[in-house]
Amino acid sequence: MPTPFNQDTHAIRRFTPAVLKWFAKHGRHDLPWQQLHKTDKDIYAVWLSEIMLQQTQVATVLGYFERFMQAFPTVQDLAVADWEAVANLWAGLGYYARARNLHAGAQQVAQFIRTHGKFPQMPDEWQAIKGVGRSTAGAIVAMGVGGRGVICDGNVKRVLTRWAGIDGDITKSATDKALWQLADTLTPARQSGEFAQAMMDLGATLCTRTRPKCEICPIAADCIAHRQGKQAAYPVKAKKSVKPTHHSQVLLITHGDLTDNDAKILWLKRPDDGIWGGLWCPPLLSITRQDTFNDGVIGEWLSDNLHSDLQRQNPPLAAIKHTLTHFHWQLSARHIALSADKFTQLKTLLADIHAEHHWQPLVNTLAKPAAMDKLLNAIA
């Protein structure tokens, strides 16, 4: 019988049992957050893991997950934690908005538990939590709560577009709607937690973006892309535009010689709502993009007070290229040594603009982006 999914009812009925059978024998069962449906701690662990796994591979997440669970073993511990402690543990994992949302979300969940006596149980309740989207909510409900939750993340979309021969652009709402409808059709009423993990594993280990292992895939017999030899054609996605490259100078501002053992540089806390939000960086003098208010004020002050071409007078001590979601960032570190009177003037300026700041050595314990560690470690 025909269906809206380019697959007949027989193929649809075969899909879920085949995937679950494969998962039981070949799936990943040793991940630390996979102790399902036993305690409230598991719901928290699944939620934490799902946030960390967004845009990040399992192998990278494992160490961060273990350290987070040791530092914040319950959602209440995370909710009351100081942001600096959270940011320090997250540093290096990237996509720092996830950490800010996780911290804010923990406070929401802790309040929900105080009100209702338990974790959120339904997908819509989880979607009300900061940083939790539709697929993440489905994963938490399925693998943490033990209810029926539907997932349709990037791995799942790749599996489904190939299997069903869905050739619409997955960035378009019509295709996205069709994929969610298919994912919902295939998700069983029971074992949705196992099915969710199975689909993630299938996409991560067999139905990979390049070189899919179709010869050992449990759904290859019904897979339209495999049958047509067009695995590389799916999923269809609009071509990304070329990322621009922005250039910024990282200003290492000191009173005295940078090589002194007790030399300290200026660190500014970045705004919560921007790139590297809530983390600490030296001031950035941006050449090709607008940066933060504090950076701009300090850059203008340096220009007005030092009366020198910073680039000409202060050659870069080190430089790196850092790639973010929407652009490449060329960062070069330059030393700015201030006289005693200029140092006093700058401290007054920092107080006037209410800039959160510290004077700390190049290598310190402040929560900072991995890119800044990489750049400054090349100097220290």
Token look-up 């280990």 returns 205
Helix (H, G, I), strand (E, B) or coil at 323: strand
CATH architecture of structural domain 9-233: Orthogonal Bundle (1.10)
Q: What is the pLDDT of residue 40?
A: 61
Specify which residues 285 forms β-bridges with.
249
Q: What is the pLDDT of residue 307?
A: 53
Sequence-separated (6 or more) residues with CB below 8 Å from residue 218: 18, 19, 21, 22, 202
Distance CA 107, CA 79 (A): 5
Judge contact between 378 and 318, C-beta under 8 A.
yes
How far lies 149's CA from each of 112, 145, 300, in Å? 20, 9, 53
Distance CA 81, CA 59 (A): 26
Q: What does the angle CA 346 – CA 302 – CA 281 come to, to the nearest 5 degrees?
A: 70
Burial of 26 per CB tally in 10 Å (0-12, 13-18, 19+): middle
Distance CA 20, CA 26 (A): 10
CATH architecture of structural domain 246-377: Alpha-Beta Complex (3.90)
Q: What is the pLDDT of residue 308?
A: 52
pLDDT tens figures, 86-145: 999 998 888 888 999 999 999 999 999 999 999 999 999 999 999 999 999 999 999 999
Distance CA 14, CA 107 (A): 42
Bridge pairing between strands 328-337 and 318-323 = antiparallel
Token look-up 């530092």 returns 71
Q: What is the pLDDT of residue 2?
A: 46
Token pair for residue 74? 């319950």
Q: What is the pLDDT of residue 323?
A: 87
Judge contact between 43 and 144, C-beta under 8 A.
yes
Q: What is the pLDDT of residue 287?
A: 64
Task: Dump strand ranges (E) for 202-286.
Answer: 245-254, 265-269, 280-281, 284-286
**H or E element that contains 274:** none
Helix (H, G, I), strand (E, B) or coil at 107: helix
Specify which residues 331 forms β-bridges with.
248, 320
Q: What is the pLDDT of residue 162?
A: 98
Q: Locate the domains of the chain by residue range.
A: 9-233, 246-377
Distance CA 215, CA 206 (A): 9
Helix (H, G, I), strand (E, B) or coil at 248: strand
Flag residues of the chain having pLDDT under 50. Answer: 1-2, 36-37, 309-312
**Closest listed residue to residue 374, CA positions, set 337, 341, 329:** 329
Q: What is the pLDDT of residue 311?
A: 45
How far lies 122's CA from each of 119, 129, 140, 255, in Å? 9, 12, 9, 56
Please pick, among 50, 194, 300, 356, the residue that the annotation labels catalytic: 50
The answer to whether residue 50 is catalytic is yes
